[in-house]
Amino acid sequence: MSLNLDELKKLQQKKYRHEFGCFLAEGEHLALELEKAALHKPTLRTSELYVTEEFQHWATTLRKHVITDKQMAQICDTQTPQGIVALVPIAALQLGQATPHSATGEKERAIYLHEIQDPGNLGTILRTLAWFGNFRCLLSPGSVDPFNPKVVRASMGAIFHVPLEVEVPLETLSANFKRIACLDMQGSSLSAKAFKECDCYLFGNEARGVPHEQLQKLGAQPFAIPGSGAIESLNLATVVNMCAYELNRRP
């Protein structure tokens, strides 16, 4: 999977990430999370590390390349690179369609994000899903690329632990999930028993949400997060965080 320096530079652009089938994860913390995830996901073991002399003695089971500080600065998009970056195969994180139960036998829930645009929001959502476990993240066409460097950094390594599906059309959800939930101010409370009985939780674009007519076609059941009414909306990542917590809260 090794790429030359010019190819590594191009990975800052989405079209080349998908052309080469890999992305970069920069920094010591992300490298550690990658190796932790690789213990349980053999597909991640083909990842490679590019390090400067400072990290040349880094203990790893992954293939390692030593490069200069100048070369590191050329391939990273941060102003002060940490000196270690991982080359990760995209296919290793896309594990097929959602299943009703995870490998542990527990119910796996799907979080569907419709045309989400903010890299920070997606990274934060992935951290939440990894924290609680037994979630999979589905992204609609037109969503931010999950392998964008800003998303990867914001995820703090969670991207290696949450199964991802990309380019999932909204209209296909009803064929794969019997009970779909969405957020609506007029919906039932999150504490309602029916909320935990759903299979897929649908969240819309930060500014536009999801068109009402499409929600009706899907038969999505509305639920609400009660508030004071002082402001009209919550940050998308905050909403997903609250829903994930409620789904894992014991009665």
The SS3 call for residue 198 is coil
* DSSP string for residues in 19-73: HHTEEEEESHHHHHHHHHHHTT-GGGGG-EEEE-GGGTT---SSEEEE--HHHHH
Tell me if the pTM is above 0.85: yes
Start and end residues for every CATH 3.40.1280.10 domain found in the chain: 109-248
Of the candidate ranges 48-52, 174-178, 185-189, 226-230, the one whose mean pLDDT is the lowest: 226-230
Q: Does domain 5-93 have CATH number 3.30.1330.30?
A: yes
Q: What is the pLDDT of residues 164-204, one digit of tens each?
A: 999 999 999 999 999 999 998 888 889 899 999 999 999 99
Question: pLDDT-based confidence at 103, cuts 50/70/90?
Answer: very low
Long-range contacts of 127-130 (CB under 8 A, 24+ apart): 127/154, 127/155, 127/156, 127/158, 128/237, 128/240, 128/241, 128/244, 129/158, 129/162, 129/244, 130/155, 130/157, 130/158, 130/161, 130/162
Confidence of residue 229 (pLDDT cuts 50, 70, 90): low
For the chain, what is the mean pLDDT? 89
CATH numeric code, 109-248:
3.40.1280.10
- Distance of CA 189 to CAs 95, 210, 222, Å? 33, 19, 9
Of residues 105 and 2, more confidence is placed in 2
Range list for CATH 3.30.1330.30 in the chain: 5-93
**Does the pLDDT of residue 233 top 70, yes or no?**
yes
Report the pLDDT value the prediction gives residue 99, as an integer from 0 to 100. 41
